[in-house]
Chains A and B, each alone.
Chain A
Amino acid sequence: MGQGSAVDLYEHQGKELFARHGIPLAEGIVAFSAEEAAQAAEKLGGRVAVKAQVQVGGRGKGGGIALVASAEEARTAAQRILSEGFRGTPVTRVLVEALVDIADEFYAAITLDRSVQRYLAMVSSQGGMDIEEVARTKPEALRRTAIDPILGLKPFQSRYLAGHLPEPAREGAGRVLAAMFDLLGAEDATLVEINPLVLLKDGRVLALDAKVTVDDNALYRHPEIAELRSAFPVDPTQAMANEKGLQYVKLDGEVGIIGNGAGLVMSTLDVVTQAGGRPANFLDVGGGASADLMATSLEVVLSDPAVRSVLVNIFGGITRGELVAQGILEVLQRVEANVPIVVRLDGTNAEEGRRILREAAHPAIVPAATMLEAARRAVELAHQEA
């Protein structure tokens, strides 16, 4: 359930927020090495779960979680997880958590539902299962209700949501729901998900997992959450783009793409694909792009060794054509372009931009009159160069 630009927190980061808002947890310690994991297991009594900290799901089935009975076993498990990574992403830390005696497992989540412009709270009596699958195969196990952002989560809604759980779990689950909604509001989260939420044999209800997604438009009022991002692995090209405020997504094709505005860039990806090429990236220089931003964008795209041609597709609204042209020429003085750059300019001052490029007559620059022509040329050139 993707909800806009967002920061997906690691489980242990989410659990720090849980603790702050009073959601009960199993005892846990974060470990950055096998040795630390062994020490943590020792402290927690030996019987622990060693859990890879990653931003993707499916850890249970994918070998990202090991249940062990001793500190030694915890060391071995942590060693394996830290060295292998999980589904292609590096793992820099594990959460070592004391095992608990589970009587029953459930699911609880509150998320922003864009289609009704309200929050949506859901509780399922089936824990550990993918919620979409529960909705499809066992809809009677799922209760959901919309929450008005102005009214907030009301006690009757919590009672309803938890009302189909076994009696001993209801009160605890209701308290967890209230705390989840507090967290959502206080931390600008767009998703808080607990899968599984468990009832222990001693009657306590606690969160065994934590998935929290925070709206990055709101990070200015949560500097401590913004700080958490430094824990995530980043590709160096990505980091360079992000630093300049460019929206860059690496893809696996050979035609580098630069455009202004997310919709136009996505559309450019589509026409390149239709012309038989494969986009190497998504790069949005944003509104009001300056010569400097244009230069950085080109530098980012040219630094990708898979790129065989570049397509610059700019429709100037606030962005001015002559600045785009200047930016392209500026970077070509600093960086050697060993691939052709197809440029299509339209909109504000495009005439002036095209004139600047024509007069510069740079050998790497290939002008194109329309978006479709530009896509065809870029694909052709990428295949020639290959």
Chain B
Amino acid sequence: MAVLIDERTRVVVQGITGKEGTFHTLRNRAYGTNMVAGVTPGKAGQSVDGIPVFDTVAEAVEQTGANTSLILVPARFAADAVEEAALAGAALIACVTEGVPIQDMATVVNYLRGTASVLIGPNCPGLISPGKANVGIIPGEICAPGPVGLISRSGTLTYQIVHELTQRRIGQSTCIGMGGDPIHGIGFVEALERFEADPETQAVVLIGEIGGDDEEQAARFVSEHVTKPVVAYVAGFAAPPGKRMGHAGAIVTGSTGTAQAKAEALEAAGVQVGRNPAEVAELVQDRLAKAG
């Protein structure tokens, strides 16, 4: 078991004929993921290394049984691509594209509430269930199958922490990059819900950062609904207030959204918070050993 993606995942890539699209499609296929179709409007009938290309997601779903969409299109087409995937009935939509206008995403996420589709991203590395499927740009070679479910607002920081876990021979059930934008698809709460229900997942790692209140919402959810051990990391203790630190979501205003406030909220909910990526992995090791 894993969450969201596994051996039954069949992926259609929107933007497959672009440079990034082709590169990551083939990389995901080399990992063992079922990459069944691609979509680029106007390029139906072509193929990318044997993967058929369609004009629309609906045709791709109909003809190949795709159930998951990976979006690697330019930012100005991303909102349309997500809505198209939802209309075609994709159960899961992972939008890697960064730089999507916030207003577009505000419309998309509210539109998705009325559909059965689950969105991850945008501005995210996608997700991986090690040994089963890789949908996105997370480097598969740093992951290993195992008992830890991981969800993160950051890309490379996720790789760093996964790497620390794998080096300690702690594998992962599923790693989800939820993305760094202020308006995004599933977050900590939805991931915790799934990890709690997944028999393979024995512990959960949350990787947060300054800005917004995702971590505070996660803390409330953990204290009420999660029985599995949860370890967290929050980046941005050294970030000065009022400065934007790269990620669209990462800004501190006054005392709300600070790393300190988030760490305190999480600790109050019984979540252990590591001071650096290595310590996070040590805490997980410790919790698994105790459970063990």
Contact = CB atoms under 8 A, between A and B. Distances in A.
A73 B138 CA distance: 63
A180 to B, nearest CB: 15
Contacts of B163: 315, 346-347
Interface string A302-317: 0000000000000111
Interface in A266-285: 266-267, 269-274, 279, 282, 284
Contact of B244 (A2, A260, A316, A347): A2
Contacts of A272: 238
Interface residues on B, range: 35 or more
Nearest to A264: B156
Nearest to A3: B182
Contacts of A273: 237-238
A261 B70 CA distance: 21
A217 B101 contact: yes
A261 B154 contact: yes
A370 B33 CA distance: 31
Given A259-B156, A265-B246, A317-B137, A149 B276 contact: no
A274 B251 CA distance: 21
A79 interface: no
Nearest to A272: B238
A222 B107 CA distance: 19
Contacts, number: 183
Max chain B C-beta neighbours (<10 A), residue from A2, A149, A261, A265: A2
B286 to A, nearest CB: 18
Contacts of B142: 347
A139 to B, nearest CB: 17
Interface string A182-205: 000100101000000000000000
Given A112-B182, A149-B103, A282-B243, 17 more contacts: A2-B211, A2-B251, A114-B183, A115-B213, A118-B110, A119-B106, A148-B110, A188-B103, A190-B103, A221-B101, A261-B157, A264-B159, A267-B160, A270-B235, A272-B238, A347-B139, A347-B163
B181 interface: yes
B202 to A, nearest CB: 25
Interface string B214-244: 1001000000000000000101111110111
Interface residues of A, number: 56
A117 B110 contact: yes
Given A114-B182, A264-B156, A265-B245, A217 B137 contact: no
A149 B110 contact: yes
A284 B246 contact: yes
Contacts of B275: 270, 274
Interface of B: 75-76, 98-104, 106-107, 109-111, 125, 137-139, 142, 152-160, 163, 180-183, 207, 209-214, 217, 233, 235-240, 242-254, 257, 259, 275-278
A149 B107 contact: yes
A275 B180 CA distance: 27
A134 to B, nearest CB: 15
Nearest to A278: B238
Contacts of A317: 125, 137-139, 155-156, 159
A260 B160 CA distance: 11
Contacts of A150: 107, 110-111
A209 interface: no
Contact of B102 (A217, A267, A315, A316): A217
B276 A114 contact: no
A3 B153 CA distance: 16
Given A217-B101, A218-B102, A249 B156 contact: no
Nearest to A1: B253
Contact of A267 (B98, B235, B253): B235
Max chain A C-beta neighbours (<10 A), residue from B102, B107, B233: B102
Contacts of B238: 266, 269-270, 272-273, 279
Contacts of B103: 112, 149, 185, 188, 190, 215, 218
A266 B250 contact: yes
A118 B235 contact: no
Interface string A217-249: 110110000000000000000000000000101
A266 B210 contact: yes
